Structure formats: C-alpha cells, structure tokens
C-alpha cells in the first residue's frame, strides 16, 4: 500500500506506475482516492470547527449560570447538543470514507524500482547472469519421478488414496536427501548470521491481507473452516506478521531471520508428466529468509539475499541463473523481484527454484511495522527470499547429480547429513 501523500501531491507518478504494470483498469482508482481523501479532509475541518465552537459555548454556560441567566444557558446547552449530534455524524462519515479509501488503496500497486524492466508477463522477464556452466551428459536423464521411483523414493499412488492429487510420500534415502537439503540450508543461513526460527503454520486473516494482495490470497491460501485461520503458503507470511503493530528499536535493526516451515498451496498439478511428478504440489517444505531494515538499506539487502540462494545451489553442484522479473510479472506489493532458476539437464532449460523480493514499506504500512527516529515514527522496509524449497530444489539436485547407472551422487556438503553416504543407489 502506497503513501496517500503521493496521490495527494503527484497522481501522475502513481498512474504511470500502473500503466507500466499494464493494469490500466486500475487508473480510475487514483482519482477516486484523491476525491475521497479530499472529502475526508473537508469533513475533518467541519468536525474540528464544530468542536471548537462547542468548547467555546461550553465555557459560556458556567458564566451565564453564575449571572442567573438560566434560560440563555439552556439554549446554549441545546445548541451544544445539536453540535454533538452533527459531530457524531461527521465522524461516522469520515470512518466510512476512510474505509472506502483503504479498499481502493489496497488494490493500487506499489511504486516499482526504476530498474525493473518493462514487460507484460513472465515471458518478458530478463536473464541477468548465470552461475555455473549448464551441462548435458552424453547419457539420457529420465523424468525426475522415474528416477525417484527407480530408487524406491516416492509413492504418489498411496498419497492419492489418503489425500488426493498433488500429494506424495517420500521414502528412504530420497526422503533423507530432501531433509538433508533443508538441514544444510538452515545451517548455511545460521552461518550467514541469520537467526533461526520455526513460526506458526497458521495465521489470522489480517496478517494474510497485510503480507499479500487479496487475489493472491484467494488463489493460494487454504482457510480453516469456521475459524479466522489460514494455512501458510510460505513462512514469510508468519515471519513478517511477527512484527505486526510493533515499533522496533533502531538498535535492533536490521532484523534478519531464516525460518523453516511446511507450505500449503491450492496450486494444482499440470497435465501429463507433471501430474505424476513433484513440480506442482499442494504441500512442500521450505527454508526462507526475511529482512526488516531501514529504507535506505533495503536494496543492499536485496542483493545480499538472492546471492545467498545462488551460493547454496552452487554448493549443491547445480548451475543457476538470476532472472529479473518484469513489470507485468511483478506482484502488486513488490518494488523489485528476481527469480533464481536451476538448470534442468533433462529439459535443457532453467526452471524456478526460488524468488527474492523487496516490498519497500508496502507490508510494513499494512501491518504497522515502524521505528522511531529523529524525525518521528516511520515505516520500515521488508524483504523475503527463498533459501531452498523442496521438492523443486530436490528435483534440481537429483537431475544435476544423476549418474549413468541410475544412481544419484550426493553433493559433498550434504554427505554429513546423509550419514557419510556418497551415492543413492537403486536397490
């Protein structure tokens, strides 16, 4: 949510930002908010004037009663009563107007960073740089579900009986590799100076609407029937929500934390091979990182954060690239975002394994996350980034470490988490 002062003082900037995101249907909202805000301030002036008049009249009553002018005093009392009724009406009108403003402001997108490339959708995202050489071996790499099944590492049929499409059992050494990646990611982030956390896996609706847009919420979140609780789609939601309505001391900044959680999403599987694979699922596990910092530090943190994900995947012997998200692919709350994509030697192309975003003060403004400085209280900036999400990260490790005999070479950094094993071999 942007600062309403920007709409008061420079609507053109807000409108141009909307156009760059190819959301022209939202352009009328800017003028609507401007007029509503103007009305709010007019109502406020009327209410303040009436309150001032009411206070003056109240002061007169005592003097009139002292002089024995009871009738005049009663007339003033009646006038004060009428003013009170009018003030109440004006305050109710102001509440209703502010409610309308908030509803419209929640839909107006955040102002993007000037470096964001302009494009209509994800097909126009821009590759920035690559890390590691993409490699295709001389032998064929099977589909990841076939590799895992040959290693006795997955049962989707049983998961279909217990839970339906989009769920899975991981078994044996594949399940262990999955957990090894998460455990290594945890220790990797702790070594990078981040505080480890395991957050609540369910959050209230006011936290959900504080961290994401309503359309995103409807598309992603599972709601607990009969309760004001949602299953989290990522631990970023509850980690940023941890600081809701808090004024954080400047000496505590920046806050940088890494969190583990299962994640739950409505996202269904694609047709064909994806239905029997692990690329699109309703439940997965993830190591996340979040930062809350001073506004002037957010871009530095953004660059530090995505580079950590790159380093992690290179430690897994997986080539990756950074892909800059264009304006049309940028979620409304985000100022700037990039995806980290892993190389798939089977498909001979990259696929997304993580996303890093700076949201400016959008989440902080919605959730009331502030600090106090020399010039008063102000909103902080929030950022989030995927360290590793499995099973997508698992797919990348399996494909890039697949051997001709059907085994998986375990990356050296993961071997201590696998009891010293160097390979996962077919039974």
Tell me, yes or no, whether 23 and 170 share the same domain.
no
Does residue 116 belong to any structural domain of this protein? no
315 and 365 co-located in one domain: yes
- Is residue 145 in a domain? yes
Going from the first residue of the chain to its last (427 residues), give the mean pLDDT of each consecutive group of 10, the final group possibly shorter: 92 96 96 96 92 81 70 77 88 94 93 97 96 95 95 93 92 97 98 98 94 78 93 95 97 97 77 66 95 97 98 98 97 96 97 96 96 93 96 96 96 97 90
Instruction: Give the pair of three-digit tokens for residue 354.
Output: 């993580």
90 occurs within a structural domain: yes
The pLDDT value recorded for residue 280 is 85
Q: Can you give the pLDDT at residue 56?
A: 82
Same domain, 144 and 86: no
Q: Does some domain include residue 112? A: no
Residues 76 and 137 in one domain: no
pLDDT for 275: 61
Predicted TM-score (pTM) of the model is 0.89
- How high is the pLDDT of residue 66? 66
- Cis bond leading into 319, ω under 30°? no
User: CB count, 10 Å around CB of 370?
Assistant: 19
Q: What's the domain range around 157?
A: 122-424
Per the structure, the count of domains in the chain is 2
In a domain, 111, yes or no: no
- Number of alpha carbons in the 13 Å side-chain half-sphere of residue 26: 20
Question: Where among 47, 74, 105 does a domain terminate?
Answer: 105
- Decide if 115 is inside a domain: no
Same-domain status, 21 and 56: yes
**172: CATH:** 3.30.930.10
Strands 230-231 and 222-223: antiparallel
Shared domain check, 277 and 148 = yes
For residues 53 and 168, membership in a common domain is answered with: no
Q: Assess whether 136 and 101 both reside in one domain.
A: no
- Indicate the DSSP class of residue 402: B
CA distance 177 to 185: 12
Q: What value does the CA radius of gyration of the chain take, rounded to a whole number of Å?
A: 28
Residue 20 and residue 151 in one domain? no
CB atoms within 10 A of CB 4: 18
User: CB within 8 A of 409, min separation 6: which ones?
Assistant: 401, 402, 403, 422, 423
Quote the CA–CA distance of 145 and 157 in Å, as a whole number.
12
Flag whether 114 is in a domain. no
Where is the domain boundary, 77, 105, 133?
105
CATH no. for residue 27?
Answer: 1.10.287.40
Q: Are residues 82 and 175 in the same domain?
A: no
**266 and 406 both lie in a single domain:** yes
- Alpha-carbon 211 to chain mean position: 5
Per DSSP, which regions of 172-326 are E strands?
Answer: 195-197, 202-203, 222-223, 230-231, 247-248, 255-264, 283-293, 320-324
Given 52, 80, 105, the domain boundary residue is 105
Neighbours of 58 (CB within 10 A): 13
**Pairing assessment for the beta strands 320-324 and 126-131 based on DSSP bridges:** antiparallel
Residues 176 and 58 in one domain: no
113, part of any domain = no
Q: Is 424 helix (H, G, I), strand (E, B) or coil?
A: strand
């Amino acid at each position: 949510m942007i600062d309403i002062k920007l709409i008061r003082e420079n609507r053109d900037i807000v409108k141009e930002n909307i156009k760059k995101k190819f959301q022209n249907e939202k352009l009328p909202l800017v003028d609507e908010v401007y007029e509503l805000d103007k009305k709010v301030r007019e109502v406020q002036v009327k209410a303040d004037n009436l309150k001032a008049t009411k206070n003056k009249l109240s002061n007169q009553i005592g003097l009139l009663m002292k002089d024995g002018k009871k009738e005049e005093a009663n007339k003033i009392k009646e006038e004060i009563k009428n003013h009170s009724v009018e003030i109440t009406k004006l305050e109710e009108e102001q509440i209703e107007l502010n409610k309308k403003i908030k509803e419209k402001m929640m839909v107006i997108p955040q102002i993007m960073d000037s470096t964001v490339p302009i494009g209509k959708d994800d097909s126009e995202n821009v590759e920035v740089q690559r890390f590691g050489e993409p490699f295709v071996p001389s032998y064929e790499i099977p589909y990841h579900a076939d590799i895992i099944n040959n290693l006795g590492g997955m049962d989707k049929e049983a998961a279909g009986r217990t839970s339906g499409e989009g769920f899975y059992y991981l078994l044996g050494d594949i399940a262990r590799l999955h957990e090894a990646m998460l455990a290594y990611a945890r220790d990797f982030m702790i070594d990078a100076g981040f505080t480890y956390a395991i957050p609540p896996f369910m959050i209230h609706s006011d936290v959900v609407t504080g961290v994401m847009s309503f359309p995103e919420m409807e598309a992603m979140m599972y709601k607990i029937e009969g309760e004001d609780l949602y299953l989290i789609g990522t631990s970023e939601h509850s980690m940023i929500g941890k600081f809701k309505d808090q004024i954080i001391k400047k000496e505590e900044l920046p806050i940088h934390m890494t969190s583990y959680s299962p994640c739950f999403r409505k996202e269904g599987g694609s047709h064909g091979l994806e239905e029997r694979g692990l690329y699109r699922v309703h439940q997965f596990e993830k190591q996340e990182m979040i930062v809350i910092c001073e506004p002037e530090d957010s871009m530095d943190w953004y660059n530090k954060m995505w580079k950590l994900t790159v380093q992690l995947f290179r430690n897994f012997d997986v080539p990756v690239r950074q892909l800059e998200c264009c304006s049309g692919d940028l979620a409304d709350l985000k100022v700037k975002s990039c995806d980290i994509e892993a190389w798939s030697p089977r498909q001979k192309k990259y696929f997304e394994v993580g996303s890093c975003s700076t949201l400016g003060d959008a989440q902080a403004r919605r959730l009331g996350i502030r600090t106090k400085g020399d010039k008063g209280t102000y909103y902080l900036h929030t950022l989030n980034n995927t360290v590793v999400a499995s099973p997508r990260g698992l797919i990348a490790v399996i494909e890039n470490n697949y051997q001709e005999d059907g085994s998986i070479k375990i990356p050296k950094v993961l071997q201590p988490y696998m009891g010293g094993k160097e390979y996962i071999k077919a039974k």
